[in-house]
Chains A and B, each alone.
Chain A
Amino acid sequence: MAPPNKGSAKGGSAGGSKPLSSASRVSKSSKKNVKRPPPKEVKSKARTETDLMAKKKKRKYTEAELDLPKLNTITPVGVVKPKGKKKGKTFVDDQEGMLTILAMVNAEKDGQIESKMMKARQLEEIRDARAKELEARQAHKKNKLEAVKDSIRNKKGNGGSGKAGDDSTSTKNAGSKSAKPKRKSVSFA
């Protein structure tokens, strides 16, 4: 820092608005003798000062108020820890707490088993229905076959041919016979 005397002299020369005169010099010299209180250092407050900070109390928005898309936040979804909650583990040592947890677990398990049983029963019903349908189809098929067999038997009975199963061949033969020209025969008188 420059001493105040030097600064004032400089300021006088640098001001330049007034022409330098002897009178002014005299007055300057007289001023030098005047006793002034020592200059006080004026401290400017730092920006980080608590008072300044406290003055401007900005409103803090919660994440819910900002309505940000969840994937855009810093904390991943599902990892958000509730504020103001006590850190550390919460132990379950009392009987009631344990019984509550057990009841919850049991209810969940019962539901699962019940749904499993229901599913199994439904599947069983479907399986039974399918088996019955298959049985009915097979019975129908068998009846049809029996009917065809019976009809063939009846046909045979009506035709009166002796051997079974030769019906088709015999008709074939008869057909072939009729189609063939008469064989020439030689006879001796």
Chain B
Amino acid sequence: MRSLTEPETETMFRKLATYTSNNLSELIKGTSEDGATDENSRMVFRIQGNRVFYMPLRLANLATSIPRDKLLSCGRMMGKFTKTGKFRLALTALDTISPFARNRVWLKSNGEMPFLYGSNVVKAHVGKISEDCPEHSGCIVYSMDDTPLGFGVTARSTGEMRKLEPTAIVLFRQADVNTCERHVVLAQIIYFLHCVKDC
């Protein structure tokens, strides 16, 4: 596990800045998640393999006692670097970056399940949306009780959305909190079908 290099840091921040506003600096300032302000509680980014983790410095220092090849995970995973040097944001970063979101969309309760089952968001399901939200910009999706549900990209700007019909798509889904579970269920179904076929 090591610190990030300059280009790596830049690439990661560029991706994070797609979804967050200027107050992202709060993420790296000297306060930890539990509010402590000493140097050891400072939150840092560390890379292990190609995965980037976000953790307090105290934990990062402790992790040096574990051999690199034996360490699987430490802290909160933010994403991973591809072999071409791009950064892919992981869903586990949702909770970390949701307080700093630039554009937000709140879904009505009738729109939550379609979103969590992999559909794009239609206008009829939008409860609230940030003002001055441009087209094709990163967005964080919330339920009406402010629970972050996933990531998306706006299909239209806020101004254009007002003129659309209720069935028009306003946000393309990128990832949601149900993705993992859906994949597990799908895997179970496939396994079940294999079993049935064998019988």
Contact = CB atoms under 8 A, between A and B. Distances in A.
Asked if A and B are interacting partners, one says yes
A87 to B, nearest CB: 13
Contacts of A99: 25, 28-29
B51 interface: no
Interface residues of B, number: 26
Nearest to B15: A105
A95 B3 contact: no
Contacts of A92: 3-6, 9
B20 to A, nearest CB: 9
A95 B28 contact: yes
Contact of B28 (A98, A109, A117): A98
A108 B30 CA distance: 24
Contacts, number: 60
Contacts of A90: 5-6
Contacts of B146: none
Contacts of A89: 5
Contacts of A116: 134-135, 137
Query: In terms of DSSP, what is the predominant structure of the interface of chain A?
Result: helix
B25 A102 contact: yes
B2 interface: yes
B18, B132, B134, B159 interface centre (most CB from chain A within 10 Å): B134
A91 interface: yes
A101 interface: yes
B24 A106 contact: yes
Interface of A: 89-93, 95, 97-99, 101-106, 108-110, 113, 116-117, 120, 124
A46 B79 CA distance: 62
Given A89-B5, A99-B28, A113-B134, 14 more contacts: A91-B2, A91-B3, A91-B4, A92-B4, A92-B5, A95-B30, A98-B9, A101-B6, A101-B10, A102-B25, A105-B13, A116-B134, A120-B157, A120-B159
A90 B28 CA distance: 19
Contacts of B17: 102, 105-106, 109
A171 to B, nearest CB: 51
B134 A93 contact: no
A77 to B, nearest CB: 19
B3 A93 contact: yes
Interface in B71-120: none
A106 B22 contact: yes
B14 A109 contact: yes
Given A91-B4, A91-B5, A92-B5, A109 B18 contact: yes
Contacts of B42: 95
Nearest to A92: B9
Interface string B9-45: 1100110011000101100111000000000001010
